[in-house]
Structure 1
Amino acid sequence: SLALFGVLSILARPILGTLEKSEAVLGVAVSITYYLILSGSGQAWLTVMSGVLASAGDAVAAMSVNIGALWLVQLPLGWALAHPLGMGPTGIWLGLGISALLGAAAITWRFRTGRWKLGRV
């Protein structure tokens, strides 16, 4: 998936240009694509590490990080960036990316603490 994200980041305008001809729409779509790459990478890592922790018997921590990333970061941040800060749809996608990266960082930290080794499977 990272290889596809790499290709998409390099060829975003030509690829999206096959679907949309309006420069205004294309400009927004290309900028949102870059945030999609950010959020997709973070979400992929978060998903994998959540599965690792859950499989090791630390499902509560994995669930807590995912719920926290969604309800405490993604939704409020996406709303704040889109509305009060006036970023519109780009703000929503930026909030999604930041949330995914923070969730990935939190789940990686939890894994590195080694507490999952103390659980019973």
Structure 2
Amino acid sequence: MAAKTTTTPASFRIDRILGDRPFAEVGEPALTVRDENRGLLAVAGTRTAVAGMPDFGFITPVGVYRVEDLTCTTLPHAHHPVHAMAFHPTLPVLAVGSGAYDGATSRRESCFSWAWRRGAPRR
């Protein structure tokens, strides 16, 4: 009987991160809100196309960063451009309001809250 061999994945080392700058996760910053008490900063980026989604779906990334070192702690996304954000005064929740309007008859709006300790947005 042949001995069973197991392989482990090769380790890797990161030389550099492309886009190594503050807020690289959200692209071009469009809106920011700061929570002075917790030392957090929420940054909404511009709406971007994402390959792999039906018809190159669009998302608007929203990053929550620590002010002291600008480390991204969480990265939810909205389906429309973000127009308003606010931190809850006592809970670890970020409320995000987004929407799109075509100038005529179509208006799409959404609002979600992000409890970053739980890990999933509520729409």
**TM norm structure 1:** 0.25
TM-score by length of 2: 0.25
Tell me which protein shows more helix as a share of its residues.
Answer: 1
